[in-house]
Amino acid sequence: MRRLELAVPGTSKGYAWRDALPALPDTSGAYRWFYADVTAGEYSAVCIFMVGSLFSPRYSAGVKRGALPLEHCAVNFALYHRSTRRCWVLSEYPHAAVRVQRGGRALSIGRSLLEYGLDGTVRMEVEERCAPFGGPLRARLELEPQVTAADEVQLVPGLPHYWRALAPRAKARLEVSSEGVVAEGIGYHDTNHGEELLGARLPGWHWARVHGPEETVVDYHLPGGVAPLRVTAGALGTKSERRPLLAEARDTSLTGWGLRVPARLYAGNEAVGEPRLLESSPFYARVEARRDGVDVMGEVADFRRFHSPFIRWMAHFRTRVERGA
């Protein structure tokens, strides 16, 4: 089957995301993050730049006192080899270490940088230390979008939480110089933002991104009987839609932390396989499955759990808190 070989496209409806970063959140409880993942041979990697970090126990506890998102920015990077973690970074920074640069095209958090290039590429450079007391890490992800961006969608009608797949399918290059890794593959890039703390009214979600030989499909499954969202991106374009609820709920299983995750990961109606747990915590799981040229990466989150004092205390041990760049 023919793989995608398309010129870098223009943008879809919504803000022209390659021209400049969107406005960063500035009210208590609000957030925005920029997510990317790469599948490259035996390696996979995830990188997230967060303003109002969803992983921050300090932001979770501080919102009642008016804590602002720019006071709790973070960089998360993880590298996996054959579905086993090689390194983990989660560094949180104060407002003084956060800067928008280069005509609004770049966001730096500490020593790490997210930049939208004039040539249409997305570049993430990570210079951090592994959490909580690990060694230095230097990584670079570069994405060349191969399809148009999706429309921005509201996750749940009536709630102020939004998602947009900016580069659903991209040529990707992954370099982790501190680990001696250089690989090329397929990438994905999106952004989420909201005007209130996750878990206040939106309890959580499960989403999965499927790269096939010719197209990429992203499914967002939401609680409370809300119809799931789907983005399909390929040679025929990029489409966002609400899908009907499944006639029968798919099987789930419990992690060691008691978090309910899918028992199978799917490409459409076809099971790809049992998920490998890349990350597992009381409120969050990152999962992956691969088979016959199909790659699935997904996340499960229960934000209500995260706001319990005990789990917030546990989260401190996965995070480095930095005082400046």
pLDDT at 152: 96
- Residue-wise DSSP of 220-252: EE-STTPPPEEEEEETTEEEEEE-PPPSSPPPE
160 falls within a domain: yes
Question: What pLDDT is attached to residue 183?
Answer: 98
Domain for residue 13, yes or no?
no
Structural domain of 241:
31-321
Let me know if residue 24 belongs to a domain.
Answer: no
Domain count, the chain: 1
Residue type, 258: G
Integer CA distances (angstroms), 203 to 206, 218, 285, in order:
11, 20, 15
Tell whether 103 is covered by a domain. Answer: yes
Q: Please tell me the distance from the alpha carbon of residue 285 to that of residue 210, in angstroms, as a whole number.
A: 17
Q: Is 62 helix (H, G, I), strand (E, B) or coil?
A: helix
pTM exceeding the 0.85 threshold for the entire prediction:
yes
Residue 136 in any domain: the answer is yes
Whether residue 155 is contained in a domain is answered as yes
CATH number at residue 94: 2.40.370.10
> Is there a domain that residue 3 lies in?
no
* pLDDT on residue 5: 35
Tokens at residue 56, please? 């921050």
What is the chain's mean pLDDT, rounded? Answer: 91
- Find where tokens 């005990």 sit: 310
pLDDT score, position 312: 80
Q: Is 244 among the domain residues?
A: yes
- The parts of the chain modelled with pLDDT lower than 70 are 1-15, 247, 316, 323-325
